[in-house]
Amino acid sequence: MFAALGDPTRLAIFDRLADGKPRSISTLSDDADMTRQAVTKHLRVLESAGLVQNHRVGRESQYAFCPDQLAQARAYLDQVAGRWESALMRLKTFVEDDDS
């Protein structure tokens, strides 16, 4: 998941789709300075990371933002931050105890 967002191109696409509007591959390719195939590959990566969803309509395949994994990433970061905070707390307590 972090790996999927780790590429600047993919992060840009992801960021762009965060407004909720689904977009076709060619639409997304238009203002990316690379081939449609390259964009397609990136979209597949984002999709298999669960960050984006695809469904085909007519002759074009629409990619849309998918919030589930995003929430999971936030939860993980929160958990890490929590561990760090409580470690700080223990350190503070230790220092205070030592001080008395």
Does position 98 bind its own copies by CB under 8 A?
Answer: no
DSSP characters over 28-48:
HHHTSSS-HHHHHHHHHHHHH
Give the x-and-dash track for 52-71 against DNA (CB under 7 A). Answer: ----x-xxxxx---------
Q: What is the distance between the alpha carbons of residues 79 and 59, in angstroms, rounded to a whole number?
A: 43
3-state DSSP assignment of residue 63: strand
Give the x-and-dash track for 42-71 against its own copies (CB under 8 A). Answer: -----------------------x-x--xx
Pick the binder of its own copies from 48, 88, 93, 94 (CB under 8 A). 88
Q: Of the candidates 61, 43, 44, 63, which has an alpha carbon nearest to the alpha carbon of residue 53?
A: 63
Pick the binder of DNA from 13, 45, 46, 51 (CB under 7 A). 45
- What are the start-end ranges of the E strands in 2-100? 23-24, 52-57, 60-65
Least CB distance from residue 13 to DNA, whole Å? 10
Does position 21 bind its own copies by CB under 8 A?
Answer: yes
